[in-house]
Structure 1
Amino acid sequence: PGQARKEPVSQPASQPPASQPARQEKKTSKPPSSSPSSEISLVLITTPFPHAENLEPHSPLHPSASPSPPSPLRLPTMASGAQTTGSTKVDAVVETAKAAEPQKLSGVALYSRFALAGAVCCSVTHGGLTPVDVVKTRIQLDPQTYNRGMIGGFRQVIQNEGAGALLTGFGPTFAGYFLQGAFKFGGYEFFKQQCINNLGYETASNNRTAVYLASSAAAEFFADIALCPLEATRIRLVSEPTYANGLIGGFSKILKNEGIGAFYAGFGPILFKQIPYTMAKFVVYEKVAETVYRTFPKKDLSDAMQTTVNLGSGLIAGFAAAIVSQPADTMLSKINKTKGLPGEGTTSRLIKIAKELGLRGSYTGIGARLFMVGTLTAGQFAIYGDVKKALGAVGGVEISN
């Protein structure tokens, strides 16, 4: 017991190599260290990862597979078709933003809204100015009697026939310009788009004055086919207050006594009047609006300011349109006042009336018409712009720079 304990004698270096594997196996069975770095190494080593020999031959991780580019990331889609971000809150915000965006219309859905907006703006403005139109027509047809100007004409009509006479022809005016406005404004936007489709946007934009003129002329031609019968009825009722009682009575009486051709006796003059009128109206409006929006960008203006721009541009356009179309307007009033002589054609009647009037006579009533056309054109463009927005047909067919 008191003797020192002997240490075991180590094996000589010449021990056969067969004992080496046993010593290596003994070392690997030693438990890992508890240090942090060892823990990290252990986690990395034991993380599940497929072995190459267990992979399918076509797997991108298989050693025999050729490298291929990574597939693009695909996000799941929502019921609306939009891609999700994986966050319910973010997706809800995206959906709300998309719902707030105005729906882009095209085809019949778009142009029917343009037509309805045009019908409303024209029927409301022309119908509201029926009293002015009555006085203007009386001055044109009987300048010797109604020779006291616009205000004096109002007083004369009220004194001689009563205040109700100022609404003579309201029915055909409202109905006629409802149809005409639909064809005019809807057709104008439609033909502008056709010019863009055929010429290309850049060419159409660079030659937009010609596009405005051609589009407005084509639209007015079809609008006048709808307007002419009702305009003939209106003028007959205004020029002959006792001719019939209202739109239905006047229309039926002309159709029965004179035939359908009587409605289009003034078609030539109405084209001669309305096409230059509409061309001047649209091109001047577009040019004035372009000038304003070049200084004050449209996107920076409120809805109220855009309506103000429409009013101002429309007023200037109305003055230009009235001056251009006044001679034809006077001739139209004359030709619809009475029936032509037997065998007398429309062209010969127009030549005869033009000779009787002369240049000065053809501008009879220009003051009243400037007031009337300027006011109603300003109102038309203001109402047209606001109704378009209400219907979702925002903007229009824009080709201005």
Structure 2
Amino acid sequence: MRAVDGRVCEEFSPAYYGVCTMGGMFSAGTTHLAITPLDVLKVNMQVNPIKYNSMYSGLNILLREGGPSALWRGWAGKFLGYGVQGGFKFGLYEYFKKLYSDVLVDQNRSFIYFISSASAQVFADVALCPFEAVKVRVQTQPNFAKGLGDGFPKLYATEGLSGFYKGLVPLWCRNLPFSTIMFTTFEHSVDFLYCNVIQKRKENCSKAQQLGVTCVAGYASGAVGILISNPADNIVASLYNKKADNVMQAVKNIGLANLFTRSLPIRITLVGPVVTLQWLFYDAIKVLTGLPTSGGLENHLEGVN
């Protein structure tokens, strides 16, 4: 039953965190599923940059060698893995942000955003890692497995439980910087837009205006996060495909400059719109359930009506 104010639940209640978790699962799972073809191309460009040396030629090679179905390899891993990760990432971020803001009352907001997103991402990547391990192999090794159904038991049989978590540390190295930068940039972008562009309090804006702010802040957060996380993203792909046995060897094989530039254009093409849509879907679910959109521990708009 809805509350008098139209909300399905009270903020910071268990039901509220449940809505945030489900919203995160839906927003992350659907957006990552939609860009599976570009993700297949990105991973192959990282693992075999000589063969897949550009987006256009890489797509042609994939279509010529595997047909249209080759572009959708690993779709189940994308949908389920990143759905689970998104649920943990968004749901736990809301929980930790409230927890830390209550406990660390004298800390500045940036620190609260940073440790909240980092705490949530640690758990989110533990949940994602097994799906990612199978997905990358399915996408780059056509004879490995058809998908999650046969990929999970095959990976376990050949590499044991450790095979699912071989890339956990590189995942943390990639996603922790991305997540902390993304959430912190998003929060401050929301505050900046309300304070300096719209010059209204959030509660005085229409739902369309609030979702517009979410989109702009979401794109800004994704763009900054991409630049920070690209080296670790290349290392993850190298480790999962046995191009290197450890992180240092992967760095040596790829080269320091290539860590920052390899697959960067396609990641910009991929991640910017995906992050924007994730925030839009996530906040749209909040709006539909009568909850306020995301952004800030409180609405800091001194002197703004």
TM-score, structure 1 length as denominator?
A: 0.70
Question: For residues 116 and 299 of structure 1, what CA distance do their matches in structure 2 show?
Answer: 24
Of 256, 260, 276 in structure 2, the residue corresponding to residue 378 of structure 1 is: 276
Q: Does 1:129 align with 2:35?
A: yes
What residue identity is the alignment partner of 2:40?
V
Of structures 1 and 2, the one scoring higher in RCO (CA 8 A, sep 6+) is 2
252, 276, 294: which is aligned to 2:153?
Answer: 252
Partners of 2:145 and 2:151 within 8 A in 1: yes
Q: How many Å separate the matches in 2 of 1:393 and 1:260?
A: 40
Q: What does 1:145-294 correspond to in 2, within 5 Å?
A: 145-147=51-53, 149-200=54-105, 203-204=106-107, 207-294=108-195
Q: Is the 8 A contact 2:186 2:295 kept in 1?
A: no
Contact 1:126 1:174 in 2 (8 A): yes
**Offset at residue 226 of structure 1 (A):** 0.3
Q: Distance in 1 between matches of 2:185 and 2:12?
A: 27
Unaligned runs of 5+ in 1: 1-97
SS of residue paired to 1:276? helix
Give the counterpart letter for 1:121 in structure 2.
S
Q: Is residue 113–residue 393 contact of structure 1 (8 Å, CA) maintained in 2? A: no
Partners of 2:27 and 2:144 lie apart in 1 by 29
Once the two structures are superposed, residues 212-241 of structure 1 have per-residue CA deviations (whole angstroms, 9 ceiling, x without a partner) of: 111000100010110000001100101101
Identity of aligned residues (%): 31
The alignment's TM-score, normalised by the length of structure 2, stands at 0.91
Q: Is residue 206 of structure 2 the alignment partner of residue 309 of structure 1?
A: no
The offset of 1:195, in angstroms, is 1.1
The 3 A distance-change label for structure 1 pair 185 and 175 is same
Would you say 1:361 and 2:283 are equivalent positions?
no
- What is the one-letter code of the residue matched to 2:93? Y
Amino acid at match of 2:258: G
Amino acid aligned to 1:385: D
Report SS of the residue matched to 2:10: coil
SS of 1:113's partner is helix
Aligned to 1:320: 224
Secondary structure (helix, strand or coil) at the match of 1:242 reads coil
| 1:390 aligned residue | 288
Deviations 1:322-352 (A, max 9, x none): 1100000000000001287xxx6xxxx1111
* 1:236/1:336 contact within 8 Å kept: yes
Cα offset, 1:390, TM superposition: 2.0
Letter in 1 for 2:213: V
In 2, Cα distance between equivalents of 1:302 and 1:210:
30
What is the distance in 2 between the residues matched to 1:187 and 1:164? 35
Task: Say whether 1:138 aligns with 2:44.
Answer: yes
Q: Distance in 2 between matches of 1:316 and 1:101?
A: 31
- 1:352 partnered with 2:249: yes
Q: In structure 2, how many angstroms separate the alpha carbons of the residues matched to 1:136 and 1:248? A: 23
1:130 is displaced (CA, Å) by: 0.5
Equivalent residues of 1:193, 1:397 under 8 A apart: no
Task: Give the aligned partner of residue 242 of structure 2.
Answer: 338
More helix by share: 2
SS in 2 for 1:99: coil
Q: Note the C-alpha offset of 1:396.
A: 5.0
Find runs of 4+ consecutive structure 1 residues off by over 4 angstroms. Answer: none
Decide whether aligned partners of structure 1 residues 101 and 172 sit closer, same or farther in structure 2, where only a CA change above 3 A counts. closer
Corresponding residue for 2:297?
399
Counterpart amino acid of 1:332? V
Structure 2 unaligned spans of 5+: 301-305
In structure 1, distance between residues paired with 2:47 and 2:234: 8
Deviations 1:30-74 (A, max 9, x none): xxxxxxxxxxxxxxxxxxxxxxxxxxxxxxxxxxxxxxxxxxxxx
- Name the amino acid aligned to 1:266: G
1:163-209 residue CA offsets vs partner (Å, 9 max, x unmatched): 11111100011110111011100111111001122023xx35xx101
Structure-2 residue corresponding to 1:48: none
The 2-side partners of 1:256 and 1:318 are apart by 37
Q: Distance in 1 between matches of 2:5 and 2:223?
A: 40
Give the greater-gyration-radius structure (CA).
Answer: 1
Kept in 1, the 8 Å contact 2:27–2:86? The answer is yes
Deviation at 1:302, TM superposition (A): 2.1
